[in-house]
Structure 1
Amino acid sequence: MNETRTESGHDTRPAPDENVWPGLSAPPAGLRATVSARVVDRLLRRAAGTLAVRIEYPDGTLVGGAVDDPAAPRMILRDPQAFARRVGRSGLIGFGESYMAGDWTSPDLSAVLTVFAQQMASLVPKPLQWLRALVLASRPSSENGTAENARTNVSRHYDLSNELFAAFLDDTMTYSSAVFGELDPPPRFDDLAAAQRAKIDRLLDAARVGPGSRVLEIGTGWGELCIRAAERGATVRSITLSSEQRELARERVAAAGYADSVQIDLLDYRSLDGSYDAVVSVEMIEAVGERYWRDYFRVIDDVLAPGGAVAIQAITMPHDRMLATRRTYTWVHKYIFPGGMLPSHRALDDVTRQHTSLRIVDTASLGPHYAETLRLWKTRFAAAADRVAALGFDDTFRRMWHFYLSYSEAGFRSGYIDVEQITFARTESE
């Protein structure tokens, strides 16, 4: 992320445009905001003592559990009062918004967020945790994953611009975790395309895709899985709710010479029909929403041919954390992925056992691979700042996207979340 700094090292980027980012340019004011800001500031100073970070105030004050370590992750508060007011009003949403607004910055955002993620459960004192449901916003019903809302939810992220995604993805245009041959030494961007194809091939192998296979893909992306499956001699039907993705995916499939064996439809999963030997879905379940997991897997169960297999890649979180946060409206929901929810492995096992004939038969945990994938995307995105700006995305958007990529990397690097490749097969009776 390109940063403009004063001699003191503090970020001096412009404030958000109120016409584009309403509510970001001015933090809440008034007595209530002042009181909550004081509470937040005291909590931050108290909790920081257990964190391996250096939190730097404009007056030179340092707090944190690593104030004597110049190499420790640095959180630089440019406007502590505005930061505390935003967090006091909106919790973790305010934490992310304060970064977007420039209230704080860091020369290594992922490192700071990784430390916070490692101690997420203990940052807020337990006596105050019960207040979360009373103070923080609930999920808007307009973002529920209904057939009517799903298209809008998807469009808000995936229809931003194909050129935006091309600015930081590799040539495969694959926007999900890669699987690298090794993680030490850390992979380079030049390794990413091969690692993405290795990920796809692993899923296709799990679903036993070969010559003559009838393959259903739920969530097209930009077409790389379609191409890899067609190269094996399969016929593919892929569905998406993103018109931008569908257009480019069709172009890529045609350019690869597989237009006759790949069909890409703009379709909700609930409208699927047909019979398929293999069903593959990469990081799609996160957008479905807990209320609709049952419907999602019932549809897969209905269209899977006898003897068929299902392979999905899913971002997951521990079951207790999923239960604790299932009603929480987060910064990621508000700005990046509306309507989504991360499942736990147990939740996926439970819903398929209770409502389908599908059973989990194999699982691979790949969280560290996602951390490295995101590190490469983040670095590439930062290097493409001028290109992204030329597409019409302002400085606040670029800060938002940098926070999103760093926040996600921190989640996987800390182990707070994971990504799994999960294989299902049908069990007629047990």
Structure 2
Amino acid sequence: MRMLSGLLKKFVRNGRMRLYDAGGTLHEFGSGENGPTVTVRLHDAALHRKLALNPELVAAEAYMDGTLTFEDGSSVHDFLTLFSVNRSGLASAGSQKLLRRAWRGLKRWQQANPLGVAAKNVRHHYDLSTDLYRLFLDEGLNYSCAYFRDPEKDTLEEAQVAKLVHIAAKLRLEPGMTVAEIGSGWGSLAIQLARCGAQVTAINVSPEQLKISRQRVEEAGVADRVTFFERDYRELDGKFDRVVSVGMMEHVGVRHFDEYFGKVRDLLTDDGFAMIHAIGRMTPPGTTGPFIRKYIFPGGYVPALSEVFASLERVGLWAADNEILRLHYYYTIRHWRERFAANRDKAIELYDERFCRMWEFYLSAVELGFLHGSNMVFQLLLSRERDAVPIIRDFIVDDERAMLTPAPKSAAKRQPKVKPKTATRTAPKSPRARKKAE
């Protein structure tokens, strides 16, 4: 217990941890200020040493196994909140510095995602029962950051629709344009883009998601404008007016960034552009936490912007626009965690208690990573040519408002099912577009 006490004295600077060791002795750490008070009980003496050596992974596994429990009204979310507000204290401990150094040394090996392995890693998470995801996602099964205009008033459904519209507005679509979607989830974005008049080629390596996606585009009446393929992004060929990728880059791995952005570049027409939506970090390059890496997203990695832009420089793509969404994912995952908690009994019927504890730990950990950690979301517009994207970004707001504003009832009958969007009138033409018009 001496090793663990030494670590916790350095670690818990905000809030308070009340820890009952395996022998029943109570230890207290922290001042109780600027953080929650959490009561923890250990049921296995082996945890005294294991937690001191690798707390991030062992605490999660002990909670999953039931050998670490909470008392006095404390919860796993309280525990992880205490961890998140003391993150710097843990990083400063000598044993943890050595552990992180080892993780950095293994980083490229841990994120190796060659063909075949990449699909296996993705299926580990996304081929779980869709009924599980229905317990906590919105009706459209959007498993990525939503877009909140008012976090206290917007429902999850409203925020996810706003995200789809925000992305479609950035793509500046016109009827008949071709779009490649890399990593198509359960099909909500493909449906949105098809409703804007685009012909969408969407790829995914999850058979479970593809099955549901094909059903959904049929139900939405856009099956003639969306084609799904079970395919790795490296196996997609052709030329497209637009390329879009949402929540996919996190699965690429740092060794494959050039391969990924090189494929995006090769898929674009000369005057086309891409929209990349992904989780990033505002800190220097790091590693994936051991719990997330082992149990949730094997092969996954949240990149630093320095790694992203260095890769863009190497493959020769213009970064025409970058928007940083700082707290939107925090609000999104808060909804997910609360919905999962409300449907926990149904989740146990689908899986078991250990799985539910793992999922609770995962949702709380990632939610707090966006509240107290370094995580955020970035949305990049990328192009082969400097003038493929309008030189001012007003077109995004103009198109977004046009899509969110209902048409007047008197004009509804006169409007075609897919109408040209206002961006073509309000955004200034690029030099290339003017030359073509002449």
How far apart in 2 are the matches of 1:354 and 1:277? 22
Aligned residue identity for 2:300: G
Runs of 4 or more off by more than 4 Å in structure 1? 133-143
1:57 match: 20
2:414 match: none
Aligned residue identity for 1:404: Y
Aligned residue identity for 1:222: W
> Are residues 178 and 239 of structure 1, via their aligned partners in 2, closer, same or farther at CA, if it must alter by over 3 Å?
same
1:16 match: none
Look up the SS of the partner of 2:224 in the other structure: coil
Look up the SS of the partner of 1:343 in the other structure: coil
Cα offset, 1:329, TM superposition: 6.0
Look up the SS of the partner of 1:279 in the other structure: strand
How far apart in 1 are the matches of 2:148 and 2:111? 34
> Are residues 271 and 75 of structure 1, via their aligned partners in 2, closer, same or farther at CA, if it must alter by over 3 Å?
farther
The count of corresponding residues between Structure 1 and Structure 2 is 381
How far apart in 2 are the matches of 1:283 and 1:161? 19
Aligned counterparts, 1:207-356, within 5 A: 207-320=171-284, 322=285, 325-326=286-287, 330-356=290-316
Cα offset, 1:111, TM superposition: 4.2
Unaligned runs of 5+ in 2: 388-438
How far apart in 2 are the matches of 1:139 and 1:75? 34
How far apart in 1 are the matches of 2:262 and 2:54? 37
Matched-pair contact (CA < 8 Å) for 1:47–1:123: yes
The farther-off stretch of 407-416 and 286-295 is 407-416
Look up the SS of the partner of 2:45 in the other structure: helix
CA-to-partner distance for each residue in 1:258-286, whole Å, 9 max, x for gaps?
11110010000001111111111111100
1:399 match: 357
Aligned residue identity for 1:305: T
CA-to-partner distance for each residue in 1:374-414, whole Å, 9 max, x for gaps?
111111111112211222x1101000000000000010011
2:88 match: 121
Cα offset, 1:142, TM superposition: 8.2
Aligned residue identity for 1:331: F
Residues 1:410 and 2:378 are matched in the alignment: no
How far apart in 1 are the matches of 2:68 and 2:113? 34
> Are residues 55 and 207 of structure 1, via their aligned partners in 2, closer, same or farther at CA, if it must alter by over 3 Å?
farther
Residues 1:363 and 2:331 are matched in the alignment: no
1:131 match: 98
Q: TM-score, normalization: structure 2?
A: 0.80
2:341 match: 382
Matched-pair contact (CA < 8 Å) for 1:374–1:408: yes
> Are residues 108 and 359 of structure 1, via their aligned partners in 2, closer, same or farther at CA, if it must alter by over 3 Å?
farther
CA-to-partner distance for each residue in 1:339-358, whole Å, 9 max, x for gaps?
011111121111011123x2
Cα offset, 1:303, TM superposition: 0.7
How far apart in 1 are the matches of 2:345 and 2:93? 44
Matched-pair contact (CA < 8 Å) for 2:277–2:379: yes
Matched-pair contact (CA < 8 Å) for 1:203–1:312: no
Matching residue within 156, 169, 173 for 2:137: 169
How far apart in 1 are the matches of 2:94 and 2:207? 47
The farther-off stretch of 405-414 and 39-48 is 39-48
How far apart in 1 are the matches of 2:323 and 2:175? 25
Look up the SS of the partner of 2:149 in the other structure: coil
> Are residues 319 and 46 of structure 1, via their aligned partners in 2, closer, same or farther at CA, if it must alter by over 3 Å?
closer
> Are residues 360 and 268 of structure 1, via their aligned partners in 2, closer, same or farther at CA, if it must alter by over 3 Å?
same
How far apart in 2 are the matches of 1:157 and 1:122? 31
Unaligned runs of 5+ in 1: 1-36
1:419 match: 377
> Are residues 127 and 387 of structure 1, via their aligned partners in 2, closer, same or farther at CA, if it must alter by over 3 Å?
closer
Matched-pair contact (CA < 8 Å) for 1:216–1:237: yes
How far apart in 1 are the matches of 2:363 and 2:166? 25
Look up the SS of the partner of 1:260 in the other structure: helix
How far apart in 2 are the matches of 1:222 and 1:317? 26
Percent of counterpart pairs with the same letter?
Answer: 34
How far apart in 2 are the matches of 1:178 and 1:112? 26
Cα offset, 1:72, TM superposition: 2.4
Matching residue within 132, 142, 148 for 2:116: 148
Aligned-residue Cα RMSD (Å) equals 2.5
How far apart in 2 are the matches of 1:262 and 1:117? 42
> Are residues 372 and 275 of structure 1, via their aligned partners in 2, closer, same or farther at CA, if it must alter by over 3 Å?
same
Q: TM-score, normalization: structure 1?
A: 0.82
How far apart in 2 are the matches of 1:271 and 1:108? 45
> Are residues 329 and 371 of structure 1, via their aligned partners in 2, closer, same or farther at CA, if it must alter by over 3 Å?
closer
Matched-pair contact (CA < 8 Å) for 2:270–2:385: no
How far apart in 2 are the matches of 1:209 and 1:281? 15
- Structure with higher Rg: it is 2
